[in-house]
Amino acid sequence: MLPSTPLGIGLGYREPFRSELFLNRDSVDFLEIVAEHYLDPNPFKQQELELLAAHFLLIPHALNLSIGSAEGIDEDYLKILAHLIRKLDPPWWSEHLCFTRAGGIDIGHLSPLPYTREAVEVVCRNIETVRRQIDVPLILENISYLVTIPGSEMTEAQFIGEVADRAEIGILLDATNLYTNSINHSYDIKNFLSQLPLERIVQLHFVGGYWNNGILIDSHSHATPIEVWELMAEIIASAPVRCVVLERDENLPHFAEILTELERARQIFKFSEDKQV
């Protein structure tokens, strides 16, 4: 069943934000945390997790499940991830639609899958394995990528939609990743969205990147560009989005800039809600 709980406007938690975050806690409805930071926490990270959980709803966002690995899911990793999620009891949790491990080796980054029927089968089989350990709803995120895997039998949007429909899961649509891929791979965003089951979009991500030699880099390092704001507004007006999350990892600005972006997202979110009344 897709999550129906509206959460509002969230922030991807990063440790340098902590003091300012608590001084401005009324501006943040919930936090998204990187699950890997707390799977085997030292005393400081354990204390940090307990502090955050005492004041915010926390949504775990995992990086290394490797849901697209043909060799299946790492059961040891899955057990400690399941333990964290059960402890936090979120309305949903998220991962990336990709693979990060092959041949027993951790690749170290999010790698795109071939858009084939066989890959759909692999992902759906792995999702069933995950569900046997974690009964909290899973949503999967579209990644940004620079290399297209040859041999695809469908478009990226059709692949995402096929996995979401077959496995009956929600979609975390990263608006910045979508915009970045549309630039780097020269495809039409409206056509992409027309092939996606919009009713399965649960959450949005947004942030800004930078240009390098004609390539747009998804670096989570700059203010959100106007094109992504416009894309977010279009998606929120068309899909039952429950929340949006700002992800900022590099070139961290003053927290006032973070608050400005969160407020702009809130106005877009609120405008869409008002239209539905």
Average pLDDT, the chain: 94
Q: Is the pLDDT confidence value at 123 over 60?
A: yes
Mean pLDDT of 46-75: 97
Cβ–Cβ under 8 Å, residues 232 and 193: no
pLDDT band at 271 (very low <50, low <70, confident <90, very high): low
| Cβ neighbours of residue 132 closer than 8 Å, sequence gap 6 or more | none
pLDDT band at 247 (very low <50, low <70, confident <90, very high): very high
Helix (H) or strand (E) holding 195: none
Q: Is the pLDDT confidence value at 43 over 90?
A: yes
The mean-pLDDT minimum among 147-156, 194-203, 258-267 falls in 147-156
Mean pLDDT of 184-201: 96
CA dist 31 and 57 (Å) reads 6
* 70: nearest Cα among 108, 101, 116, 105: 101
- Percent of the chain topping pLDDT 90: 84
Supply the DSSP symbol for 64.
-
The mean-pLDDT minimum among 35-44, 213-222, 225-234 falls in 213-222
Q: What is the pLDDT of residue 108?
A: 84
